[in-house]
Amino acid sequence: MKKVIPTLVAFITGIIVLADFLIYNPLLDQVSNSLLNWALLVAAFAFIVGLLNVLIVHFTRIIKRERGWPYSIVLVLAMWLVIIFGVLDPRGPQGPIVSWVFRYVQYPLQATLFAMLAFFALSAGYRAFRRQTVDATIMLVAASLVFLGQAMLISEWGKWFAAIKDWILSVPTVAGMRGILLGVSLGVIATGLRLLLGMDKPYAD
Amino acid sequence: MDLAMDLSQKVGLALALVFLLLLYASRLEVKARGSPPLRPLRALESLRRALNRAIESGKPVHVSIGTGSIGERDTAESMAGLAVLGYVEEQGSYYRTPVLSTFATPSTLVAAYDARRKATEAGGTPPPGRIYFLAPQKIAYAAGASEVIKDEEAQVNVMIGSFGYEYLLLGEMTEHRGIEHIGGTTDPRVLPFVYASSENYLLGEEIFAANAYLSSNPGALASLLAQDRMRTLLAVLIVVGMILKSLGVIGG
Amino acid sequence: MIYCPICGTANRDGSKFCNECGARLVPQEGVHEKGHTKCPMCGALNPESNEVCSQCGARLKPLVSIPPEELPLEGPAPFIKEAGEVKPEEEDFLARLRETVGEEGPPEAEEVFSPATPEEARQVPVFPEEIIKEIPEEEIPDILASLRAKVREEEALFAEEEEEAPPEEMPRVEIPSWVTGEERPPEEKAEAAPEEAPEEEKPEVKAPPEKPPEVEVFRWPEEEEKPAFAEEEIFKELPAWEEIKPEAEMPPEEELPEWLKEAEEVKPPEEAPPPAEWLKEVELPWLEEEKGVEAPVMAEIPPWLEALRPLEEVPPAAPPRRPIEEAEKEEEGILAGLKGVLKAQGAVAIPERPAFSEVAEVPIKKDLLQSFLKLAYTRSSPPSIKVPSRRRGRRRYWLLYLVLFLAALVPLVVKWPPMPVGSPPSPPEVRDFFEVVEGLPSHSPVLVAFDYEPYMAGEMEAVARPVLTHLKNRGCKVAVISLVPTGPALAQGIWDEIAGSYSYGEDFVNLGYVPGREAGLRALASGLGEAVKYEYVEGKPLDSFPLMQGINKASDWRLVVILAGEPSTILWWIEQVGSLPGVRLAAAVSAGLKPYVMPYYQSGQLEGVIAGVPEAAHYEDLLGSPSYVTSFAPAQALAVLIALLVILAGNLFGGGG
């Protein structure tokens, strides 16, 4: 019984949402929407677990003086400051303090970190091509052609490179992408069906 | 009841039904004949070896299942990552090897606690090592995970699940520290980076095979079999379509 | 106290795992789980129908139905063949050695572990305490370590062959080759050698001299025998490990070691039944290898020995001899290049092949002895160990990074190269986007989704600006919404910059953040009021704004523009909102998403696509007012080209590897 009920709940919920996607029916729509709202609530509660995890992990680090523990102090303090100001402000997360934190801390930090991606892409690409395999060579050639097609610097030849680039992007790439996406969606469908049918109950018992 | 479905819905439904049948048939087949022969996947072999090295050295293994969640589009990828995490946690429990796992979404965090509980049941003791909830923002997550790997001196970094560009950020940061990393994801825009940054990669749906490879779970094996058959069919269709389109026989 | 079968560490009673090495101390339980069988070796779950573990190849169902007579006899064949390859001068010595040992002890086959029941097969036998106590906790002697290094090298090929054999090809019903002892993972002796020695020497000491020495045919599987003596006795009579150790530690490199000289000296007496004294002297941990050599030539068993044949008892020393999962080659440190030296995943749990290992040790031990002898004769210097360095490339990366940084920075500063206007022509999907916006009637309500996180802002702002500028130029009424919490702030910032002065609520309204991601979007699709109750800036109800009059559902917008940095969000929009009747979607996305969205453009679900900075530059070009994007797009393109050249040059001129 302990195992039947979760499976049954998963099955019925899944069937309702699936049917709602395929069939237009007002009642089904309503039930399905409520279920999705419940899912939101559950997800929100999961955030409390996340909060507790952060607190426990970082308090442990501070108490045990683990490597990098001062950063844990900064983290916990910053977290509470943002939470407190966010809650105290009548406009919530859109209040001036949280907005300030977003604009002058989060935004530049994230953008800067992301900019490092360009460098990492370069070093990863460099390493990949140093493997000197057939696939790496194909990748290098294709990448060169696409880059040249986008470069917009050489106006006379530009249209030829652009044509090649368009062909690469619209024929082999899209076909390959479709293959990957279809393969992935097969995996997704399989996972969904397996969960739906209770063939495996990975996190339900 | 209005059954006014558009084409994609019809195709989707048909696909799901065909797949359901295939899945059921494969399930019976696995039950009757046992595990099908599996093509060796280098990344998973490397994962086992890397795990052995971690067990030998006593250094932690870091597992990231990506920045996806459970309950959304990337659920399947996250589940694939969780299967790998479950395997690593179980090994960690058997051999007292620390397992670090980092999470970007709370729903996967809850699942991770569950995976640890199961590993504890299987192995007797919970594996050493922490479960970290880092940040829902992908880049912040990548930065945090990279710090965890550095601070805890991980031996190997396993990244299988749903990743965006943060894959490259995390993968290169660990690679530059000389830490081996094994990765796999499904997002086509990230796949070039997966390919480039490590020699141990799982591309696309290969990550869904991880569960079957590592756990030998009959359900996972059956779905692997069904996926393969369905994919063979679709692959043929795609190749034909690509040729026809290049020749200009069909347009659009 | 429970003693670890692997390392001998004493653990608290009730412990399941060794505190020192982590090996399992108690037999694993719960082998059956819901319709499948748990592999006793690696813990993988297998369908009940599996004969062998699909994971590690361990046998799940014992071979009870096959009587020992039917077992193949070819087991020791390769061993005999290989024994013939010994150098002539060694051959004589070996042959005599073999004879001698053959006289003394029961054959190696006594060790065969043949479980009678499934339960027995799955259990990892527990090492009896008495034995464990006797096993000294010494380190592996140097001599053995260097010896192994040599053997590993020689057997590398052998091991690789075996690794490649996929487990699933193993025949289900026939006896697999590992049972016959044909193939052996070489690593096993690393674990086995030192610990086994005391136990196995015992029969030699006691061996009656009248045993017939001449044997040619080996029929080991039938010859399971049990030593006639209890283990306690063995250890009383045997020399303790500590006594042996000093000899064993002697370096083998320079000259013939003392013990070997001694061994040669005592060779003559081999013809006669050897006295226990000399044996004690020569008894070294590797001595059992000689036993290994002898095993295949054993055939007939004297009746008195036959009578001692064990019925079901399993030799207690099984766990330490379990092979390690695979020949793990060390890559770093002083052990680099060696295989299986350190325990991989614990010796008990995950052998590449299952537990019936003792018989199969035979050829390996022979190899060990053989290479040991070769070592003594030929080796003059230890093998050089190459420690690969993984950090080699680091400095070069910094050079790469510097080049890229300068390539991006310099053109921005010097404002070169300029944007070549009108060439090459804009891609059709960009022109389509332009046409769609151009075709909107004035004052059309347009919904713009800002679905990218701040980290994507660098690229996405370049994409968003021309689109928003165009919408504003067309006089459209723009409402922005976001599925990410930080989106509304980003949108507000950009619109404030672009529009300058505008009437909030009439020309522009910020609907804020829709929580719940995909579910939130579903709610939005079923009705705007479902997802958004209040707008973002002033927190007022939606219908208090003129712009929102008459807008109730998604198709009331003339156009929905999605600014997406992640594939998931654009797919949500296409699925949840784009599938609704009467909704027109266009996407302006990050360059990485282009292959992602193009299928939807080609299928008509997206009416236009702008992907990344280059296409945004094209869009600005089409707008006829090059400003923001065109100021840095050429510089970016140049940086990309330089990066490409660096990669090419590095590969062409930097040499291989």
CB pairs under 8 A between A and B: 192
Q: Are C446 and C558 within one domain? A: yes
Q: Give domain limits for chain B.
A: 42-216
Q: What is the pLDDT of residues B107-125, one digit of tens each?
A: 899 999 989 998 998 888 8
Burial of C500 (0-12, 13-18, 19+ CB in 10 A): exposed
Q: Do A36 and C516 touch (CB under 8 A)?
A: yes
Instruction: Scan residues 35-64 of B and list those with Cβ closer than 8 Å to A.
Output: none
Q: Give A118's contacts in chain C (Cβ within 8 Å).
A: 404, 408
* Among A59, A8, A60, A16, CA closest to A36: A16
* Among C101, C464, C11, C549, CA closest to C289: C101
Do the Cβ atoms of C257 and C146 come closer than 8 Å? Answer: no
Give me the residues paired with residue C589 across strands: C564, C611
* Residue tagged 């299942």 (tokens): B65
- For residue B98, give both structure tokens: 């620390």
The confidence score (pLDDT) of residue C150 equals 62
CB of A106 less than 8 A from some CB of C: yes
Q: Give B5's contacts in chain C (Cβ within 8 Å).
A: none
Q: Do C46 and B125 touch (CB under 8 A)?
A: no
Q: Do B72 and C517 touch (CB under 8 A)?
A: yes
pLDDT band at C533 (very low <50, low <70, confident <90, very high): confident
Rounded percentage of chain C residues whose pLDDT exceeds 90: 10
The confidence score (pLDDT) of residue A73 equals 94
> Side-chain half-sphere of C56: how many Cα atoms within 13 Å?
28
The answer to whether position C568 is within a domain reads yes
pLDDT at C468 over 90: yes
CB of A190 less than 8 A from some CB of B: yes
Cα dihedral sign, A159-A165-A167-A170? negative
Return the minimum-mean-pLDDT range out of C65-79, C151-165, C410-424. Answer: C65-79
Q: Determine the residue among A24, A94, A132 to mutate to test chain C binding: the one whose Cβ has the most chain C Cβ atoms within 10 Å.
A: A94
Q: Are C101 and C6 within one domain? A: no
* Residue tagged 């619109």 (tokens): C495
More confident residue, C109 or A78: A78
Tell me the C-alpha distance between C46 and B218, whole Å.
Answer: 7
Number of Cβ within 10 Å of residue A38's Cβ equals: 12
Helix axes B206-215, A172-196, angle to 10 degrees: 40
The confidence score (pLDDT) of residue C229 equals 46
Return the minimum-mean-pLDDT range out of B51-65, C238-252, C614-628. Answer: C238-252
The confidence score (pLDDT) of residue C373 equals 58
The confidence score (pLDDT) of residue C396 equals 63
Q: What ipTM describes this predicted complex?
A: 0.84
Q: Do A29 and C427 touch (CB under 8 A)?
A: no
Q: Do A187 and B23 touch (CB under 8 A)?
A: no
The confidence score (pLDDT) of residue C234 equals 46
The strand order across the sheet containing C609-611 reads C508-513, C477-482, C445-451, C559-564, C585-589, C609-611
Which range of B197-201, B235-239, C101-105 scores highest in mean pLDDT? It is B197-201
pLDDT band at C144 (very low <50, low <70, confident <90, very high): low
Tell me the C-alpha distance between C298 and C79, whole Å.
Answer: 13
Instruction: Scan residues 83-142 of B and list those with Cβ closer than 8 Å to A.
Output: 83, 86, 103, 105-107, 109-111, 113-115, 130-133, 137, 139-140, 142
Q: Are C18 and C147 within one domain? A: no
Q: Do B76 and A188 touch (CB under 8 A)?
A: yes
Mean pLDDT of C563-576: 88
Q: What is the pLDDT of residues B137-186, one digit of tens each?
A: 889 999 999 999 988 889 999 999 999 889 999 999 888 888 888 999 99
Q: What is the pLDDT of residues B72-115, one digit of tens each?
A: 778 889 989 999 999 999 999 999 999 999 999 998 999 999 89
Q: What share of chain A is helix, strand, coil (3-state, %, to 5)?
A: 85, 0, 15
Tell me the C-alpha distance between A186 and B208, whole Å.
Answer: 10
Please tell me whether residue C63 adopts helix, strand or coil conformation. coil
The confidence score (pLDDT) of residue C534 equals 79
The confidence score (pLDDT) of residue A77 equals 94
Do the Cβ atoms of A113 and C455 come closer than 8 Å? Answer: yes
pLDDT band at C185 (very low <50, low <70, confident <90, very high): very low
pLDDT at C186 over 60: no
Query: For residue C452, what are the domain limits?
Result: 428-638
Please tell me whether residue B202 adopts helix, strand or coil conformation. strand
Q: What is the pLDDT of residues C20-67, one digit of tens each?
A: 666 666 554 434 444 566 777 776 677 666 777 766 777 777 665 444
Looking at residue C467, which CATH number applies to its domain? 3.40.50
Q: What is the pLDDT of residues C369-404, one digit of tens each?
A: 665 555 554 444 444 444 444 444 455 688 888 888
Do the Cβ atoms of C563 and C606 come closer than 8 Å? Answer: no
Helix (H) or strand (E) holding C29: none
Q: What is the pLDDT of residues A111-147, one digit of tens each?
A: 888 888 889 988 888 888 877 788 888 888 888 888 7
Provide CB contacts within 8 A for C19, sequence distance 6+: C9, C11
Helix (H) or strand (E) holding B52: helix B42-57
* CATH classification for the domain delimited by B42-216, as one of 1.20.120, 3.30.70, 3.40.50, 1.10.3470: 3.40.50
The confidence score (pLDDT) of residue C435 equals 94
pLDDT band at B209 (very low <50, low <70, confident <90, very high): confident
Mean pLDDT of B199-210: 88
More confident residue, C594 or C239: C594
Tell me the C-alpha distance between B206 and B83, whole Å.
Answer: 13
Return the minimum-mean-pLDDT range out of C329-343, C592-606, C622-636. Answer: C329-343
Q: Do B94 and C22 touch (CB under 8 A)?
A: yes
Q: How far apart are the first and last CA of chain C?
A: 53
pLDDT band at C453 (very low <50, low <70, confident <90, very high): confident
Q: Do C568 and B139 touch (CB under 8 A)?
A: no
* Among C327, C98, C311, C55, CA closest to C216: C98
How far does A110 lie from chain C, in Å, by closest CA?
5
Tell me the C-alpha distance between C319 and C313, whole Å.
Answer: 15
- For residue C278, give both structure tokens: 């000399």
Q: How many residues does chain B have?
A: 252
Do the Cβ atoms of C535 and C564 come closer than 8 Å? Answer: no
Dihedral, CA of residue C540, residue C546, residue C551 and residue C557, to nearest 10: -110
Q: Determine the residue among A18, A23, A122, A182 to mutate to test chain C binding: the one whose Cβ has the most chain C Cβ atoms within 10 Å.
A: A122
Q: What angle do CA C404, C406, C410 make, to 5 degrees?
A: 130
Amino acid at B217: N
Mean pLDDT of A139-157: 73
Q: What is the pLDDT of residues C570-589, one digit of tens each?
A: 988 998 888 888 899 999 99
Q: Are C23 and C75 within one domain? A: no
More confident residue, A185 or B179: B179
Q: Are C3 and C85 within one domain? A: no
How far does A90 lie from chain C, in Å, by closest CA?
10
Q: How many residues does chain A have?
A: 205
Do the Cβ atoms of A140 and A131 come closer than 8 Å? Answer: no
Please tell me whether residue C375 adopts helix, strand or coil conformation. helix
Tell me the C-alpha distance between C299 and C223, whole Å.
Answer: 8
Give me the residues paired with residue C625 across strands: none
Instruction: Scan residues 111-130 of A and list those with Cβ closer than 8 Å to B.
Output: 113-114, 116-117, 120-121, 123-125, 127-128
Tell me the C-alpha distance between C265 and C268, whole Å.
Answer: 7
More confident residue, A203 or C552: C552
- Report the residue of chain B nearest A36, measured CA to CA: B71
- For residue B164, give both structure tokens: 């965006």
Q: Give B12's contacts in chain A (Cβ within 8 Å).
A: 22
Rounded percentage of chain A residues whose pLDDT exceeds 90: 13
Q: Do C453 and B97 touch (CB under 8 A)?
A: no
The confidence score (pLDDT) of residue B159 equals 95
pLDDT band at C261 (very low <50, low <70, confident <90, very high): low
Q: Do C22 and B55 touch (CB under 8 A)?
A: yes
Residue B82: alpha-carbon gap to chain centroid: 7
Q: Do A199 and B114 touch (CB under 8 A)?
A: no
Mean pLDDT of B201-230: 85
Q: Do C654 and A152 touch (CB under 8 A)?
A: no
Q: What is the pLDDT of residues C220-252, one digit of tens each?
A: 444 444 444 444 444 444 444 444 444 444 444
The confidence score (pLDDT) of residue C269 equals 43
Q: What is the pLDDT of residues C154-166, one digit of tens each?
A: 565 554 444 444 4
Please tell me whether residue C19 adopts helix, strand or coil conformation. coil
- Report the residue of chain C nearest B251, measured CA to CA: C602
Facing residue for B204 by CB, picked from A57, A71, A184: A184
- Report the residue of chain A nearest C393, measured CA to CA: A127
Please tell me whether residue C541 adopts helix, strand or coil conformation. strand
pLDDT at C94 over 60: no
Q: Ramachandran region of residue A155, left (φ > 0), alpha (ψ -120 to 50) or beta?
A: alpha
pLDDT band at A197 (very low <50, low <70, confident <90, very high): confident
> Side-chain half-sphere of C501: how many Cα atoms within 13 Å?
0
* Among C259, C271, C131, C137, CA closest to C196: C131
Tell me the C-alpha distance between C231 and C314, whole Å.
Answer: 13
Return the minimum-mean-pLDDT range out of A131-135, B160-164, B190-194, C289-293. Answer: C289-293
Q: Give A113's contacts in chain B (Cβ within 8 Å).
A: 139-140, 142-143, 169
pLDDT at C264 over 60: no
Provide CB contacts within 8 A for C385, sequence distance 6+: C334, C336, C337
pLDDT at C80 over 50: no
More confident residue, B182 or C108: B182
Q: DSSP code of C299? A: -
Mean pLDDT of C251-274: 48
How far does A59 lie from chain C, in Å, by closest CA?
27
The confidence score (pLDDT) of residue A151 equals 65
Number of Cβ within 10 Å of residue C524's Cβ equals: 26
- For residue C531, give both structure tokens: 């997802």
Q: Give C418's contacts in chain A (Cβ within 8 Å).
A: none
- For residue C406, give both structure tokens: 């300068």
Per the structure, how many domains does chain C have?
Answer: 3
Q: DSSP code of C119? A: H
The confidence score (pLDDT) of residue C364 equals 54
Tell me the C-alpha distance between C40 and C552, whole Å.
Answer: 63
Helix axes C457-473, C487-499, angle to 10 degrees: 50
Provide CB contacts within 8 A for C457, sequence distance 6+: A107, A110, A111, C490
More confident residue, A130 or C18: A130
Question: Which parts of B152-217 fold into alpha helices (H)?
Answer: 166-176, 191-197, 206-215
Q: Do B111 and A57 touch (CB under 8 A)?
A: no
Q: Are C24 and C171 within one domain? A: no
Tell me the C-alpha distance between C340 and C347, whole Å.
Answer: 10
* Residue tagged 């079968």 (tokens): C5
Q: Do C424 and A161 touch (CB under 8 A)?
A: yes
Q: How far apart are the first and last CA of chain A?
A: 10
